[in-house]
């Protein structure tokens, strides 16, 4: 099975990284991306997830990130 890390940032969809066959490597990419987005104040709303090649979210790896415009 192959895995990808996908994100939606301020309403725009992206494949952040793809082609993982090892779920642990996908997790590293997921957590690094989440940390980056949590520390980026101009990201008002984002979702990040690990999906398989059928677009199923893997093991609950889904994060919703929000910042208010006042921050």
Q: What is the pLDDT of residue 68?
A: 82
Range of the domain at 27: 3-66
pLDDT tens for each residue of the chain, 71 residues long: 999 999 999 999 999 999 999 999 999 999 999 999 999 999 999 999 999 999 999 999 999 999 987 55
Q: Is residue 71 part of a domain?
A: no
Distance CA 65, CA 43 (A): 8
Q: What is the pLDDT of residue 70?
A: 52
Number of independent structural domains in the chain: 1
pTM: 0.91
Q: Is residue 13 part of a domain?
A: yes
Neighbouring C-beta atoms of residue 16, cutoff 10 Å? 18
Question: Which of 67, 68, 50 is closest to 59 using CA atoms?
Answer: 50
């Amino acid at each position: 099975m192959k895995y990808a890390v996908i994100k939606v940032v301020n309403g725009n969809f992206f494949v952040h990284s793809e082609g993982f066959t090892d779920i642990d490597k996908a997790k590293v990419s997921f957590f690094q991306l989440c940390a980056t987005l949590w520390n980026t104040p101009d990201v008002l709303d984002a979702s990040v997830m690990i999906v398989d090649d059928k677009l199923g979210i893997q093991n609950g790896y889904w994060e919703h990130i929000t910042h208010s415009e006042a921050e």
